[in-house]
Structure 1
């Protein structure tokens, strides 16, 4: 196989397996090439990724080592994407009865959900989460894409336990806005003890659901390393979750004038 052909396949494999350590032996056997040739190819790809702002390629030493590709977009590109997303969501046609905003098409769009998941992964990657936790609602697509970008499993909490999932841990929590008592359930096999959990959701108003997932994680002796939401409301300012990251802030919806006040939030990109 020629070098150009190897470079194409190496790039494809790395981009399809972000944050996963892949050994040189695997590449050598897969492409039928010497490890020295593979190393030279990876150096070329590393420089290309760095110059183009597509991510970083690092070498992991040791017996179980290899190379790992991590998605790392420039901060300017991320901010531009979030601004574009805000403009999309400002369309007055998105206002639905009750003063809500329709976002399902964005959340369930592979184009958007993949990029949102990659941004969340980039923000929280250094905290080394071992799983992503969400609740069975519209946040599942972006939580799944975040888990993929981190190369960790996705865990989904349900509103009610299912007999097909075996014994479960159930908790009751208070919603942040309506002050209603709600239930949340997670199979005992879903989370390992001492897991490092990244909570991902699509929307936060009072923070009750996120707080419920934090309390549920505590039942497994798991550590919550971060909370990421796509949109958080500007009010109430005091949420039940103190430390969270949102990409956008919804300040309000004027149903009479057809105006949706949504803006990018201040985020720190590593």
Structure 2
């Protein structure tokens, strides 16, 4: 049954947003709505303009018999600035301070609205990269990985500290923690990553980068390619401190923690330095 154009536009928009980066043919939409391809093409022009004007993303057109359209989530610069401001305000709250200068982050990592901000920001940062899956290490990076994967339309794989029987055969490596200089183990199921996959690594916090470097080394065992590294919060680099990972995008930077004064100084990470060239104004 043929439906009204307004209904068609709403359903089409919903479908595309639920299937980011997936190539959808005009034939699929034409059959779904019992409409001519010319009408579908006109509708897609409207959807594309709306997505771009509202800072939701864009539609890529792929020509040819096997072509169609692909929704690429994105974010405008002003939206990114607002999202980073909200995240910074939340992280810098004084009641997050724990003994030893640690920060309580569980509530942020479990807040779906804040994680939506994180997912959109990483989707915008890596919009031009071919990514097959998102990888993190248990446990605090899992929420961030799922947020990014949601907008990139790819699966999530989680490296663990020890092997589980439910993982089947695994690959494990030893790596040196960048901050504590301790030898640690990282394990990943052999079924998790296909050979040659392009992987986005994400993590909640980076000091010297030992964990991210460990994930990169682990992916080498799968002949996979690191498509990028996304960090929620990086610490201020101390004098003489060597970063084990240099090419990464961070959303926030932890400048300092004052336990006596109960203050946490947070600023924007290197996000705009790395991605401003393709963020829409």
User: When the two structures are superposed, what TM-score results if normalisation uses the length of structure 1?
Assistant: 0.96
> Contact conserved, 2:229 with 2:249, CA < 8 A, in 1?
yes
Within 1, Cα distance between the matches of 2:21 and 2:233? 26
Taking the TM superposition and a 5 Å limit, the aligned residue runs for 1:153-232 are 153-232=155-234
Confirm whether residue 243 of structure 1 aligns to residue 247 of structure 2.
Answer: yes
Match of 1:76 in 2: 78
RMSD: 1.3
Rounded to whole Å, the distance in 1 between the matches of 2:143 and 2:196 is 25
Look up the match of 1:13: 15
Give the Cα separation in 1 of the matches to 2:36 and 2:156: 36
- Uncovered stretches (5+) of structure 1, i.e. residues with no partner: none
Q: 1:22 deviation in Å?
A: 1.1
Q: Indicate if the aligned counterparts of 1:121 and 1:150 stay in contact, CA closer than 8 A.
A: yes
Question: Using the alignment, how far apart are the partners of 1:85 and 1:123 within structure 2?
Answer: 16
> For 1:77, what is the secondary structure of its paired residue?
helix
Which position in structure 2 is the counterpart of 1:62?
Answer: 64
**Quick one: distance in 1 between partners of 2:91 and 2:147?**
20
- Higher alpha-carbon deviation: 224-233 or 14-23: 14-23
Post-superposition Cα deviations, 1:24-65, rounded to whole Å, max 9, x if no partner, equal 122122222222211111111112222222211121123332
SS state at 1:262 partner? strand
Runs of 4+ with >6 A deviation: none
- How many equivalent residue pairs? 270
* 2:74–2:127 contact (8 Å) kept in structure 1: no
Match of 1:140 among 126, 135, 142: 142
Partner SS for 2:172: strand
Structure 2: gaps (5+ residues) = none
Q: Tell me, what secondary structure is at the counterpart of 2:126?
A: helix
SS at match of 1:19: coil
Check conservation: 1:114, 1:142, Cα contact below 8 A.
Answer: no
TM-superposition CA deviations, 1:156-188 (whole Å, max 9, x none):
111111122211101011101111111111111
Q: In structure 2, what is the Cα distance between the partners aligned to 1:266 and 1:66?
A: 35
